[in-house]
A and B are shown apart, each in its own frame.
Chain A
């Protein structure tokens, strides 16, 4: 239970899809002009991530990974289909997004109109494929872990985009230098928010007494304190 909670909280805060890994930046920058559209897109991303990560987990563990096909018969037990992961994950994601698009069109036509092209663009949103690839890389032990990770990442992305949209709405009345207006200042504010979110790295998640948990940002090896690694067991 504690593992699940730790995965969930980490995915939202210290390993936030936007602030730690910069996944999904394109739609994040493009749709964050008003809180309403940002909210809609964020909710759609939570939904898509919460569904595609577990689906891809099943795909990974029962078809793609080395030895995963053993349930189909002894002769398939040695197959390693992981080189097909990219295509299979993307196929699952594209179909799920198509489904979400149809649901939104039916039940919330106003939101559908407001989001426009960005709804189908969730299919190529780096954060969705990124979620699947992180799940594959970290090899979560169960589908519950994968689901919790997916939902957490989506939630983190939603928090990020709603926050930046709220800020952008406010700074429309500020005195931003012309060359920084719009895109430039958004980048810098996002950077500052990222630094702010790094404060979550210090949270102790509990669980194993032996290992010290510090959050991961994938950085290069530099003997100085810049590199922080997490050892989850």
Chain B
């Protein structure tokens, strides 16, 4: 745990100091929660069938992460070490209940498609992982940045996979509030005498795994630091 003693005078760290900027930008590439830290995979794969679901999930995770990081960081000196996992779970579970009820009220159809995966945000490894790794040992300010950074890193992978799967798998894009909007003209479809056919493989769950595998491939080719030694 950090002590507040510093010599001589304490300089207030500016809001956009280098450290804070690193907290925001590292998880986007070098320390990406999904492709590098290997956290939060479960939900990333299951709800990327439609862009709408991916967006709502990213927003929910963002809210829970910021809330969780702030609360745990504020309480970090009071939580006894032995029961810290249970305390974290209770905090995260309460936040997720709030998210779940809000989602059911505001966007009931998306909430129904997400079904159990909203509840599973509780066990989303990213949230618990960042609580353990960061919020328990740092002040609330940096914890917020860490939460935002990791949530963004998680979100961009989710959105990338969702866009690929929905565009190729359904020939449409769906946005919250708008529902699914097909942008391939009906006349082009083979069933209507045309030539185009949706790639139905993209809608199946295993494709999400393969798409993420390819994203990892591209990321590691460009960022050779991340390549694993055998």
Contact in complex: A198, B41 (CB < 8 Å)? no
Known: A187-B209, A222-B170. A120 touches B93 (CB 8 A): no
25 pairs of residues in contact across A and B, judged by CB atoms under 8 Å: A19-B206, A22-B41, A22-B42, A83-B101, A87-B97, A94-B86, A120-B85, A124-B89, A129-B120, A130-B123, A133-B116, A137-B116, A177-B217, A178-B227, A179-B224, A181-B227, A181-B228, A185-B213, A188-B209, A191-B206, A191-B209, A192-B206, A195-B206, A219-B203, A222-B169
Cβ of B176 < 8 Å from any Cβ of A?
no
Contact in complex: A124, B125 (CB < 8 Å)? yes
Cβ of A29 < 8 Å from any Cβ of B?
yes
Known: A94-B89, A124-B89, A220-B170. A187 touches B120 (CB 8 A): no
B residues lining the A interface (CB < 8 Å): 35, 38-43, 45-46, 49-50, 85-86, 89-90, 93-94, 96-97, 100-101, 113, 115-116, 119-120, 122-125, 128, 169-170, 180, 198, 200, 203-210, 212-214, 216-218, 220-221, 224, 227-228, 230
Cβ of A147 < 8 Å from any Cβ of B?
no
Q: Give 1 or 0 for each of A115-154: 1 = CB within 8 Å of chain B CB.
A: 0000010011110111001100100000000000000000
Known: A25-B45, A222-B170. A180 touches B120 (CB 8 A): no
Contact in complex: B93, A90 (CB < 8 Å)? yes
Residues of B within 8 A of A78 (CB): none
Checking A128, A172, A190 against B230 with a beta-carbon cut-off of 8 angstroms, the contacting residue is A172
Cβ of A23 < 8 Å from any Cβ of B?
yes
Tell me how far the C-beta of A40 lies from the nearest C-beta in chain B, rounded to whole angstroms.
19
Q: DSSP class of A's interface residues: helix, strand, loop or mixed?
A: helix
The 3 lowest CB-CB distance pairs between A and B, nearest first, are A194-B206, A187-B213, A191-B209
Contact in complex: A86, B221 (CB < 8 Å)? no
* A138–B191 alpha-carbon span in the complex (Å): 36
Contact in complex: B39, A26 (CB < 8 Å)? yes
Known: A25-B42, A90-B89, A219-B203. A124 touches B216 (CB 8 A): no
A residues lining the B interface (CB < 8 Å): 19-26, 29-30, 83-87, 90-91, 94, 120, 123-126, 128-130, 133-134, 137, 172, 177-188, 190-195, 198, 217-220, 222, 224-226
Checking A87, A133, A177, A217 against B94 with a beta-carbon cut-off of 8 angstroms, the contacting residue is A87
* A26–B210 alpha-carbon span in the complex (Å): 16
Residues of B within 8 A of A184 (CB): 213, 216-217, 220
Tell me how far the C-beta of B120 lies from the nearest C-beta in chain A, rounded to whole angstroms.
5
Residues of A within 8 A of B224 (CB): 179
Tell me how far the C-beta of B209 lies from the nearest C-beta in chain A, rounded to whole angstroms.
3
